[in-house]
C-alpha cells in the first residue's frame, strides 16, 4: 500500500500511530539552496539554526512513530554561506522579490539576515544536524558517504568540486532490525584468495607460528559465503528525472537502507516525498510506504512512480494539515 498525503510533514506526522513505522528514508530540503514552491517550507528559514530546529522538532515527533526496532536514514547536504544574500531584493517580504515569482523557482534563495558564518564558508549543517539528533535521543550508527562519480559541474576556481553527500543512519534503540544479508555484495576474487590462503604459507610472517597477529581461522569467518559488507562509501551516479522535479535522488540510494532497514511487508515513511523515489522502490520491493509532500504539484509525479495495476497498491490518500 502506498499512501500519499499532501501537506506539511510537521502537521501530518501527528496523524500517524505511535510505534507504527519500521523505517524512515528521506532527504529534507537543503537549507537555502532551492525553492520547492511553498512559502512556509523547511529550508527557507532565515538562519541555519532555525532550519535545524525545525528539522530536529520534526524528527523528534517521527521518533515516537517509529518502532523500537526501527531505522531512520537521512540524506542531507551542506550549504555555502553567502552573506550578500542576507538582505535586499531577495528578502521574501520585498515586493520586487515576489513580483512575477513562479510557483517553483530554483534560482531564489531565502533571506539570511543574521550573519553566523563568514561569506563563502560551509555551514556544517549535516554535522550539526547529526549532533543535535544524538542530543535528542537518537543513536547514530553510520555516517554513509554517497560518492557521486558524475557530480554536477561547478564553475568555482578557488575550491574543489563537491562530489559527495552524507546519509546518516539513526536508530531509536540499541537493538533494531537490520538485514545485512539483504545488501551484501559479491566478494572480489582476489580477496577470496587472500583471505583463504593457507596458514602454512605464512610461516616467517607475523601471521606464522609465534607471530603477533591472529591466524586465518578468524579471517575465514570474515569471508561470509553470502557476500561482503558493502561498507559506508557508496559510489552511485546521479540520474536525471525528466518530470520537472530537480531534487531527485536515484533508486540505488534508497535500495540498501530500505532492504536492510525494513522487513518485507513493513512500512517506510518519507516525510519529504518529492518526486516519489522512496515510494517507487517500496512498491517494487514489497514494502508499504507513507509519503508526505508539501507541494501538491508533485502529487501526480509520485502517483506515476508509485501506481501499479495491483489493487492493494493503488490506495492514495490526499490530506491537508
Label residue 243 by pLDDT band (50, 70, 90).
low
**pLDDT over 80 (residue 18):** yes
**pLDDT over 90 (residue 199):** no
Alpha carbons 123 and 319: distance in angstroms, whole number? 34
The pTM assigned to this predicted structure is 0.80
User: Residue 33's pLDDT is what?
Assistant: 72
User: Residue 254's pLDDT is what?
Assistant: 97
Give the range among 91-105, 119-133, 224-238, 300-314 with minimum mean pLDDT: 91-105
**Which residues have CB under 8 Å from 131's CB, separation 6+?**
none
Strand order, beta sheet including 164-171: 2-6, 288-293, 267-270, 21-26, 66-76, 164-171, 139-147, 233-235
25 in Cβ contact with 270 (< 8 Å): yes
294 in Cβ contact with 43 (< 8 Å): no
Label residue 85 by pLDDT band (50, 70, 90).
very low
User: Residue 314's pLDDT is what?
Assistant: 38
Label residue 296 by pLDDT band (50, 70, 90).
confident
CA angle 148, 4, 178 (to 5 degrees): 55
Label residue 208 by pLDDT band (50, 70, 90).
very low
Label residue 100 by pLDDT band (50, 70, 90).
very low
Alpha carbons 231 and 260: distance in angstroms, whole number? 13
CA distances from 200 to 59, 209, 249 (A): 54, 9, 49
pLDDT: which is higher, 274 or 206: 274
Label residue 106 by pLDDT band (50, 70, 90).
very low
Q: How much is the mean pLDDT over the chain?
A: 80
How many residues appear in the chain?
321
pLDDT: which is higher, 282 or 106: 282
**pLDDT over 70 (residue 35):** no
Of 84, 65, 77, 62, whose CA–CA distance to 9 is shortest? 62
What average pLDDT does the segment 198-215 reach? 51
Q: Which domains does the chain have, with CATH numbers?
A: 2-184+229-313 (3.40.50.150), 187-228 (no CATH)
CA distances from 25 to 34, 168, 257 (A): 20, 10, 7
Q: What is the dihedral of CA 131, 78, 58, 183, to 10 degrees?
A: -80
User: Residue 298's pLDDT is what?
Assistant: 83
User: Residue 241's pLDDT is what?
Assistant: 67
What average pLDDT does the segment 278-290 reach? 95
Label residue 57 by pLDDT band (50, 70, 90).
very high
* Nearest-10 crossing angle of helices 277-284, 251-261: 50
User: Residue 247's pLDDT is what?
Assistant: 58
Amino acid at each position: 500500500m502506498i499512501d500519499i498525503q499532501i501537506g506539511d510533514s510537521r502537521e501530518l506526522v501527528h496523524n500517524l500511530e505511535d510505534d507504527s513505522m519500521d523505517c524512515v528514508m528521506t532527504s529534507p530540503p537543503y537549507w537555502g539552496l532551492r525553492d520547492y514552491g511553498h512559502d512556509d517550507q523547511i529550508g527557507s528559514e532565515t538562519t541555519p539554526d532555525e532550519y535545524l530546529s525545525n528539522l530536529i522538532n520534526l524528527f523528534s515527533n517521527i521518533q515516537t512513530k517509529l518502532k523500537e526496532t526501527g531505522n531512520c536514514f537521512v540524506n542531507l547536504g551542506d550549504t555555502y554561506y553567502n552573506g550578500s544574500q542576507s538582505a535586499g531584493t531577495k528578502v521574501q517580504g520585498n515586493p520586487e522579490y515576489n513580483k512575477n515569482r513562479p510557483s517553483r523557482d530554483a534560482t531564489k534563495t531565502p533571506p539570511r539576515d543574521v550573519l553566523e558564518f563568514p561569506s563563502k564558508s560551509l555551514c556544517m549543517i549535516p554535522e550539526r544536524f547529526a549532533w543535535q539528533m544524538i542530543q535528542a535521543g537518537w543513536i547514530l550508527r553510520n555516517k554513509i558517504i554517497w560518492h557521486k562519480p558524475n557530480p554536477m559541474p561547478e564553475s568555482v576556481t578557488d575550491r574543489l568540486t563537491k562530489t559527495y553527500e552524507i546519509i546518516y543512519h539513526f536508530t531509536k534503540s540499541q537493538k533494531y532490525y537490520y538485514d545485512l544479508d539483504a545488501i551484501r555484495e559479491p566478494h572480489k576474487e582476489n580477496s577470496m584468495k587472500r583471505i583463504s590462503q593457507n596458514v602454512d604459507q605464512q610461516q616467517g610472517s607475523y601471521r606464522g607460528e609465534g607471530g603477533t597477529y591472529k591466524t586465518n581461522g578468524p579471517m575465514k569467518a570474515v569471508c561470509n559465503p553470502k557476500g561482503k559488507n558493502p561498507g559506508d562509501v557508496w559510489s552511485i551516479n546521479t540520474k536525471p528525472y525528466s518530470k520537472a522535479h530537480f531534487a531527485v535522488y536515484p533508486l540505488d540510494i534508497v535500495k540498501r537502507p530500505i532492504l536492510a532497514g525494513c522487513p518485507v511487508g513493513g512500512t517506510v515513511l518519507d516525510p519529504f516525498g518529492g518526486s516519489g523515489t522512496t515510494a517507487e522502490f517500496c512498491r517494487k520491493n514489497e514494502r508499504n510506504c507513507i509519503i508526505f509532500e508539501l507541494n501538491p504539484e508533485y502529487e501526480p509525479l509520485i502517483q506515476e512512480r508509485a501506481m501499479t495495476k495491483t489493487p492493494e497498491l493503488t490506495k492514495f490518500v490526499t490530506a491537508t494539515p
